[in-house]
Chain A
Amino acid sequence: MNRILEKVIHQNGTIVDRILSEHTIGYVVSDNTANAVAETSFDNTSAQAILKHLHGLLVSTCQSVVRDIDPSNKLCFMRLGTRKFEYLVAPEEYFTITVVQ
């Protein structure tokens, strides 16, 4: 699975650099099947918290809500604005990516 991640990062090198350069505090990339952190710039505690509460609970809840309202629709992206940070969550097929800025 990490080979897929490395290939995706290699193919989108410019996008990855742009994401990581401006105003970014950190990122978490989690594996959907194993429910584990694949790549992160945070320490393990923060990454596990984001993995459990954002990727696990919030993404699954929002996906089911979108399906409930319109079965033909699909969750593509989420932006979570709080007082301190902004969490950008992108649920993909194999990975879920969160950027904190």
Chain B
Amino acid sequence: MFPDLPQKPPRTLRYVEKAFDLVKSKKHVRDVVILNESGHPVMSTMDREDAVQFSGPFQAIRGRLERGMSKIDPTDELLMLRIRTRTNEVLLVPDSKITLLVVQNAHDYFEK
């Protein structure tokens, strides 16, 4: 559907598709978006417009977070960010060439 940029190994297109299908098949997962290193969504279960609108703010969060982590502990590295909101849960997983965004239903209930 989208023109996929050439990716360097081991993050091949087959790897991305495999990761996408694997995450999508999990229980409670509502939406999955995979961004390339430029921040554009290359695979998504949302509409393209919704995916672009959804991925932009989280790309900003990733940049802000990595700069913050380099100040707190320069030798540390961000692996995963989990954001729990009132109704759902968003996981942000930065990888070497791709960024994975997963929206899933929350298991517990926050009384707020």
Interface size of B in residues (CB-CB distance below 8 Å) = 30
Determine the main DSSP class of B at the interface with A. mixed
The answer to whether A79 touches B57 (Cβ under 8 A) is no
Select from chain A the residue with minimum beta-carbon distance to B91.
A79
- Name the A residues within 8 Å of B53 (CB-CB): 69
In the complex, what's the smallest C-beta–C-beta distance from B58 to chain A, in angstroms?
Answer: 7
**Given the complex, which residues of A lie within 8 Å of B75, measured CB to CB?**
84
Given the known interface contacts A58-B68, A78-B83, the answer about A69 and B54 at a Cβ–Cβ threshold of 8 Å is yes
B34 CB to nearest A CB, Å: 18
Q: Are A69 and B57 in contact (CB under 8 A)?
A: yes
Known: A49-B71, A65-B58, A84-B76. A76 touches B85 (CB 8 A): yes
Known: A61-B61, A65-B57. A76 touches B81 (CB 8 A): no
The contact of B72 among A49, A61, A75, A81, by CB within 8 Å, is: A49
Q: Residue A29 at the B interface, CB < 8 A?
A: no
Give residues 36-61 of A contacting B (CB, 8 Å). 46, 49-50, 52-54, 57-58, 61
Contact B81 A83 (CB under 8 A): no
Interface 1/0 per residue, B9-40 and A, CB below 8 Å: 00000000000000000000000000000000
Q: Is the CB of B86 within 8 A of A81?
A: no
Residue B64 interfacial (CB < 8 Å): yes
Query: How far in angstroms is the closest Cβ of chain B from A89?
Result: 10
User: Residue A14 at the B interface, CB < 8 A?
Assistant: no
A interface residues, Cβ below 8 angstroms from B: 46, 49-50, 52-54, 57-58, 61-62, 64-66, 68-70, 73-85
Given contacts A62-B83, A76-B86, A85-B76, 10 further A-B contacts (CB under 8 A): A46-B72, A49-B72, A54-B68, A61-B64, A64-B57, A65-B58, A70-B85, A74-B86, A79-B81, A80-B82
